Structure 1
Amino acid sequence: MSGIWLDSHTFHNFSDAPGRSTLLSEIATREAAGADLIGYIGLLPDPDPILRKRGDSAAILEELTSDDQVCMAIQNRKLGTLLRRHFQFLPGAAPDSEPTAGAKALAENLQADLKHINLYDLISEVLDAPYFGFAPAELLWEPDNGRLRLKNIVVKPRAWFGFGEDNDLRFLRMGALYGDPVPDHKFVLARHFPTYENPYGLRLLSRCLWPVAFKRGGIRFWTEFIEKFGAPWVVGQAHQGATEKDRNRMLSDLTAMVRTACAVISAGSDVEIHEPSGKSGDLHLRYCDTWNAAISKVLMGQTLTSELYGQGSRAASETHFSVLENYRDADAHIVASFFDSVALEYGAVTAPDEIPPRWDWNDPDDQGQTAELTKSLTESGVTFRKTYFMRRFDLADDEFDIGAESDRGSGTSETALSSPASGFTPDQQALEDMADALMPEAREAAAQITDAIRAACEAAESYEELEALLADVLGTGSGTLPELMERAMIAARMWGEYNG
């Protein structure tokens, strides 16, 4: 019989595979692997490699936020997400179905409850997850006219919680050896890149421990260097035949001179003041800058948006800013996942039979892009329902009307829509038809020129190089758009001569 002992009491028989009992069981478990003695202590030890090597707890990470570079990087990254203040809860719905009245009421009730909660501060605490790994929040409920209302959402200290062998959240109550499992519908987690092996999440601040420590040591030595070599040196030459007593008295006078700028020197003695020169202290500056850059890379993924150092092209700066924006978008996803979990618990408590709502960032920039896409799809023949505009643009039902389907998606050009054909002569109408026929080609040609100009701007690393690239793009006089314009001008001239 072939098989494997999973532990001292459980034997897995391979002859049963792929039987139902094998498929329904979990083979690779912590208890079976004996990982970290989980069966003896009941809680999963914190697997953060840096904290474990140092023998520290996660509490030491709070101290790192006092570093100026760490504080700046956290605020810079956080504010990019906190300033996205346009959001909403969309009613839940099954695929290809409209939300039910109950689902709409559920979303409205949740939004009404959240109006009494300071969401700005709450989101700020949720955004601590990337730096500390996770953020546990407790849902506080209260009765309200026969239903439970969400009174508040409070992010609690991370040191009060741990994770069990099933990666379940445990509350470390005073006196409890293993931690208590948290009750259902009471806690919601925001986590940064959690895994099965590390449910505590990836802590960015632990990766800044050594850079901050080395930077602080460099600043201390730098300060001592400045104290020793930054001030002017007062050098005295004692007169010939001066005794040891005379030399000590002169040293005392020179020491007083450094503090008071006044001294009485014996006759025959010389005093010179030497100003420090050279750039010996730059070594300390570069040392500290190195660790500042390391901190910025860990927390923001790049350095140019925090430290310029007098170098870096415009294209490189835009690339670095794009990386920072990606980090902020990832933070926005953490916030959305957190509130989706809040909505899931809210629905389970107040309306368990309804599909819970979902969080949606509704930025003005996104609306502009959606409007452009909607316009393009409509011109291509797509017909949207009124509910589409209500969801995408947050419009009330009585704020707009949808025209007849024959007015949309018919492929009629903007020129024809803006100018009624009944007012044209047959010859003028022919010109209008020719313009309509040329318009798609003209749009495509203009888009090609726009793309070429944009590519030149992104490739250039100086104004001189940009000027040369634009000359190549625009100075040749060739391309599709000039040909289209020439065809249109010839046709117009011929029509004018014919009817003159």
Structure 2
Amino acid sequence: MRAVGQRLVDASGNKLTDAEVTEERAGPTTVGVRDPISGHPADGLTPARLAAIHREAAMGEPLRYLELAEDIEERDLHYAGVMATRKRSVSQLPITVTAASDATEHKKHAEYVQSWINDGVLQASLFDMLDAIGKGFSVLEADWQSHMGHTCPREFIYRPQRWFTFDRTDGETVLLREATGDQPLAPHKFVVHRHKSKSGLTIRSGIARVASWAWMYKAFTAKDWAIFVQNYGAPIRIGRYGRNASNDEKDILWRAVSQIAGDCAAIIPQDMSIEFQEVAAKSASTDLFERRADWMDRQISKAVLGQTTTTDAVSGGHAVSREHRLVQEDIERSDAIASSTTTNRQIVPNLVAFEFGPQDHYPTVSIGRPDEVPLKEFSEAFDKLGKHGLTAPITWVWSRLGIPAPKAGEEVIGGRQPVPAKTSEPQTNSVSDLLRTRHAREQTDTIVEQLTQRIENDAAGAMAGLTDEIRAILENATDLADAAEKLAQLDLKPEALAVAMARGMALSHLAGQAALVDELTGRK
């Protein structure tokens, strides 16, 4: 935050006083070159006059052309409608801010810019900024205000383009009209947005330059149509005067026939006649005016919106409308990118510099919708690829679907179905089966052989010759009791029997541990 009394520093490192930042620079003047009342060069416009207006603008005097562009937008309903549609399609798009990096300071800058954007100042100015679509450029004056140690634009004031001109040297540098001469613009006070519908000088790249020709021809058609409609079906009045009629008498006769109704009237000498030929295809000629006016409107729609379906009903149905809508979305995306570029170059640097000082890198403002796959296609593709091992962070999936992450304790719907617990394995029927469960990767015969060998070594004398029988008993016994009963039936000395029983107990103990380990493993 800037300390009280400390001078502001813009993005270029220039030190400015509060007055230099907050004072108005391009307001209207009652006496001077910035008259709030505009001229109307569209009155009685002819092809020769229109060509002269365009020639003046191309040679560095754009005043009449800029007045004409404003005049056309006020007079033509169709042109005003499609221009408003194109401006509003961008002015209501979401605006996001991305930090220059993950550094703490850069994140702080981005949060500051986002908080200012959340106030709606930038979004409210986008409609006026996009006035450049018709005239080639637009100029907004920043109304910087200081409050609680922060200096930021409270409003961007639209300034009519006719209050500005271009430097004759390069034909591109915008200058402010002043009584003392044209003056350069202060970078921290003005936002100049340029929109190029074609390559070349800015003043020749606005859509109004080409739309003015269609508007003029349409105006001729509309005027003829109005005269035709006014007199359609009305009788033609013809007054006849004698050879000796005076001029006063002729004037009286003319007023009589002309004031009856409409303009279809005439006076002729009494001994003269006028013959009227009936039009052969009269029914076809009555809609000629409408068809020509509609054709001109479609040309304007193509120039402004890139298509005609969203303004006029055409054949082709839903498929054609969908294709034309894609064209309009492409234009919307292009306009949003141009507006974002102007914002990042002319607004964000000074906004951050006035608060934190000049920076090497600044946050990036993005205007427009994110490029997202339709939800149906995204969900189907992820479901299919997920079965083949594709993984993704759940937070990323939430963001793509536009679903917020649930908060702790919040009631939710959906989720995975509970997985049924695995059933325990069936109990083994023999000591040999228990060993096989625990040591699945080893040969059971080998394990039994090793245990039997241990018994044989421990009871070498008394057990001599009986190891095979003991082995058979241990392999076929169903439990410890069964093994003990069968071992008791052998012809063994008491000491040998005790040893054999001890070894049998050890074997049973090991088998029990193996079964326990298998059970715990199966529960995981």
TM-score (norm 1): 0.54
Distance 1:172 1:353, change over 3 A: closer
Mapped partners of 2:336, 2:137: distance in 1? 15
Aligned partner of 1:346 in structure 2 is: 351
C-alpha separation between the residues in 2 aligned to 1:359 and 1:161? Answer: 28
Distance of 1:48 and 1:373 partners within structure 2: 55
Q: How far off is 1:354 after superposition?
A: 6.2
- Report Cα offsets for 1:10-68 as digits up to 9, x if no partner: xxxxxxxxxxxxxxxxxxxxxxxxxxxxxxxxxxxxx9669549984322100111201
**Deviation (angstroms), 1:116:** 4.1
Q: Is the alpha carbon distance of 1:301 and 1:231 closer, same or farther for their aligned partners in structure 2, counting shifts above 3 Å?
A: same
Q: Of the candidates 320, 329, 334, which is equivalent to residue 330 of structure 1?
A: 334
Q: 1:184 to 1:313 in 2, by over 3 A?
A: closer
- Judge conservation of contact 1:89–1:357 (CA < 8 Å) in 2: yes
* Contact 1:134–1:158 under 8 Å retained in 2: yes
Q: 1:355 aligns with which of 361, 374, 379?
A: 361
For 1:196 and 1:362, how far apart are their aligned partners in 2? 24
Q: State how many pairs are aligned.
A: 332
Q: Deviations over 1:264-283 (max 9, x none)?
A: xxxxxxxxxxxx97232122
Q: 1:48 to 1:91 in 2, by over 3 A?
A: farther
Alignment match of 1:225 (pick from 228, 236, 240) = 228
Aligned residue runs from structure 1 range 137-176, under 5 A: 137-164=140-167, 165=169, 169-176=173-180
Q: Partner of 1:356: helix, strand, or coil? A: coil
Paired position in structure 2 for 1:22 = none
Tell me the secondary structure at the aligned position of residue 315 of structure 1: helix
Matched with 2:100 is 92
Determine if contact 1:304/1:320 at 8 Å carries over to the other structure. Answer: yes
Find 2:67's aligned residue among 23, 41, 59. Answer: 59
CA deviations 1:135-178 (Å, max 9, x no partner) are: 22233323334443333322322223344446774432413435
Structure 2 residues not aligned, in runs of 5+: 1-52, 239-244, 246-253, 263-278, 426-524
Change (3 A) 1:129 1:252: closer
Residue pair 1:138, 1:154 contacting (<8 A) in 2 also: yes
Q: Which residue of the partner structure matches residue 474 of structure 2?
A: none
Distance 1:67 1:355 in 2: 45
Q: Secondary structure at the match of 1:320?
A: helix
Task: Report the CA distance between 1:218 and its aligned residue.
Answer: 0.7
| Whole-angstrom distance in 2 between the partners of 1:215 and 1:295 | 11
In the alignment, is the contact (CA less than 8 A) between 1:50 and 1:206 conserved in 2?
no
Counterpart of 1:420? 419
- Choose the corresponding residue for 1:177, options 178, 181, 190: 181
Q: Deviations over 1:325-383 (max 9, x none)?
A: 22222222223223323223322332323632222346488486597599578775455
DSSP 3-state at the match of 1:359: strand
In structure 2, which of residues 72, 78, 82 is the aligned counterpart of residue 69 of structure 1?
A: 78
In structure 1, stretches of 5+ residues that fail to align are 1-46, 94-98, 237-243, 245-250, 260-275, 402-413, 427-500
Q: CA deviation at 1:132?
A: 1.3
Moved more, 316-325 or 141-150: 141-150
CA separation in 1, counterparts of 2:368 and 2:299? 34
Distance in 1 between residues matched to 2:148 and 2:341, nearest whole Å: 30
The yes-or-no answer on 1:294 pairing with 2:299 is yes
Structure-2 separation of matches of 1:282 and 1:294: 19
Q: Which moved more, 1:318-327 or 1:373-382?
A: 373-382
Task: Report SS of the residue matched to 1:330.
Answer: helix
Aligned counterpart in structure 2 of residue 111 of structure 1, from 114, 134, 148: 114
Q: Which residue of 2 aligns with 1:82?
A: 91
Q: Which residue number in structure 2 is paired with residue 409 of structure 1?
A: none
Larger radius of gyration: 2
Select the residue among 130, 133, 140 that pairs with 1:130.
Answer: 133
Higher helix share goes to which structure?
A: 1
The one-letter code of the counterpart of 2:421 is: S
Are residues 169 and 112 of structure 1, via their aligned partners in 2, closer, same or farther at CA, if it must alter by over 3 Å? farther
Alpha-carbon distance, 1:196 to partner: 8.4
Q: Quick one: distance in 1 between partners of 2:366 and 2:403?
A: 15
- Percent of aligned positions that are identical: 19
Residue 124 of structure 1: how far off its partner (Å): 0.9
Name the CA distance, whole Å, in 2 between partners of 1:227 and 1:398.
Answer: 68
Distance 2:127 2:221 in 1: 32
The alpha carbon displacement at 1:113 in A equals: 2.8
CA distance in 2: counterparts of 1:319 and 1:362, whole angstroms = 20
- Which residue identity is paired with 1:282? D
User: Is the 2:137–2:203 Cα contact (8 Å) retained in structure 1?
Assistant: yes
Q: CA distance change for structure 1 residues 214 and 194 in 2, over 3 Å: closer, same or farther?
A: closer
> What's the secondary structure of 1:353's corresponding residue?
coil
Report which stretch shifted further, 321-330 or 191-200: 191-200
Tell me, in whole angstroms, the C-alpha distance in 2 between the residues paired with 1:395 and 1:343. Answer: 30
Q: Structure 2 counterpart of 1:131, which letter?
A: G
Cα distance in 2 for residues equivalent to 1:186 and 1:331: 23
Question: Which deviates more from structure 2 when the two are superposed, residues 319-328 or residues 392-401?
Answer: 392-401
Aligned match of 2:205: 202
Q: Where do residues 362-401 of structure 1 align in structure 2 (5 Å cutoff)?
A: 363=369, 366=372, 372=379, 375=382, 380-384=389-393, 399=407
Q: Counterparts of 2:361 and 2:404 in 1: how far apart (Å)?
A: 22
Q: Taking structure 2 as the reference length, what is the TM-score of the superposition?
A: 0.52
- 2:289 is aligned with 1:284: yes
- CA deviation after TM superposition for structure 1 residue 199, in Å: 3.9
CA contact (8 A) 1:110 1:346 kept: yes
Give the aligned CA root-mean-square deviation in angstroms.
Answer: 4.7
CA contact (8 A) 1:77 1:328 kept: yes
- In 2, are the aligned partners of 1:91 and 1:106 still within 8 Å (CA)? yes
C-alpha distance after superposition, 1:258-311 (max 9, x if no partner): 89xxxxxxxxxxxxxxxx972321222222122111111111112222122x63
Deviation at 1:205, TM superposition (A): 1.2
Distance (Å, rounded) in 1 between the aligned partners of 2:295 and 2:56: 20
What are the equivalent positions in structure 2 for 1:238-317 lying under 5 Å apart?
278-308=283-313, 311-317=315-321
In structure 2, give the amino acid aligned to 1:283: L
